[in-house]
Amino acid sequence: MTGLNALKMDANIVVLGTDNVGKSAVTVRFLTRRFIGEYGDIETIYSHSFSVDGRELTLSIWDSPYSQQDISTSSSLCEKRLQWADGFVLVYSICDRASFNMVTRLIQSIKATKEYMGLEKVPIAIVGNKRDLHHRRTVLSEEGRLLALASGCQFFEVSAAENYHSVIMVFHGLVDRIRESRSVIKKPAGIKGIVKSMSAVFARRRTDSL
């Protein structure tokens, strides 16, 4: 990215996790700074523009209620989201062990589907929500951190109910990862690269004809 392009960026983010873990609460907290308590289960793609360090960012955030299809590698819905997404936010509740186990399965499913579709690795943020309910905790922070380490994901613990800042960190952190992954994937070959590969072809032809 150079010049003006370096100052602008668009990215698509999909938010996944089992029901009731706070996917909508985390998303709405990020978009509006508010926690409104109850959220319907409507599938929505939000668009949100903001600037960080002089950069203009436009995020499209796909928040959908939990569906069994999310973990099926053959599901066309899953493939559609994977093709669309530049990054994932996988939410579990620190009070719900089953929701944490599902995040592990979602990571495997995303990775397997990406591989199956021949797509590049996608940045993933693992988010343990409902940190304010620590007295009901059943998943240790360490477990989330270890899962992230083992799977090459980012890890955050947040409370959508009580803290705006921690939720902001999730999306900003993921955007940083997306930017990094783009600079690796989309690096152009450049004139040196083209000359190098052409010389390799001609060198091979010369040795073939000897």
Per CB under 6 A, residues contacting ligand GTP are 17, 19-25, 37-39, 41, 65-66, 129-130, 132-133, 159-161
Report the nearest approach of ligand GTP to the CB of residue 94 (Å): 9
**37/188 with CB nearer ligand GTP:** 37
d(CA 180, CA 64): 26
Q: Which is nearer to ligand GTP, 20 or 104 (CB)?
A: 20
Q: How far is the CB of 124 from ligand GTP (least distance, A)?
A: 17
Place of tokens 């951190």: 145
Q: Which one, 25 or 147, has the nearer CB to ligand GTP?
A: 25
Helices (H), 60-163: 76-84, 97-116, 141-151
Between 39 and 46, whose beta carbon lies closer to ligand GTP?
Answer: 39
**Do 164 and 145 touch, CB atoms closer than 8 A?**
no
Q: Rounded to the nearest whole angstrom, what is the least distance from the CB of residue 12 to ligand GTP in the complex?
A: 19
SS3 14: strand
Looking only at Cα atoms, what is the longest distance across the chain? 77
> In the complex, what is the shortest distance from the CB of residue 25 to ligand GTP, in angstroms, rounded to a whole number?
3
Phi and psi of 158, rounded to 5°? -140, 170
Residue nearest to ligand GTP (CB): 22
Query: Which residue, 39 or 50, is less far from ligand GTP as judged by CB?
Result: 39
Strand ordering across the sheet containing 154-157? 44-52, 55-63, 8-16, 87-93, 124-129, 154-157
Minimum distance between the CB of residue 22 and ligand GTP, rounded to whole angstroms? 3
